[in-house]
Amino acid sequence: MTQPVSLVFPIEKAIYLFTRETKPMEGGDKQKFWREVMGFESPEAIREAILAKVI
């Protein structure tokens, strides 16, 4: 597996992952997953964790 040279991960993408709202029948409650299952408390924390793993 090759390592990425760089990764752009705007905070808006992390905010999307932490948003409760989804279309009916499309994925359920994202915020519940990221908060209760994965243990994140904010979009910033999600972004930091993802970037820490890939950089």
Q: Where are the domains of the chain?
A: 11-54
User: Tens digits of per-residue pLDDT, 11-38?
Assistant: 888 888 877 766 665 656 777 788 888 8
Q: Where is pLDDT greater, at 41 or 19?
A: 41
> Looking at residue 50, what is its pLDDT?
85
Residue labelled with tokens 């930091």: 48
pTM attached to this predicted model: 0.59
| b/e code 28-47 from CB counts within 10 Å (16+ = b) | eeebeebbeeeebeebeebb
Amino acid (1-letter code) at residue 20: R
Distance CA 6, CA 14 (A): 17
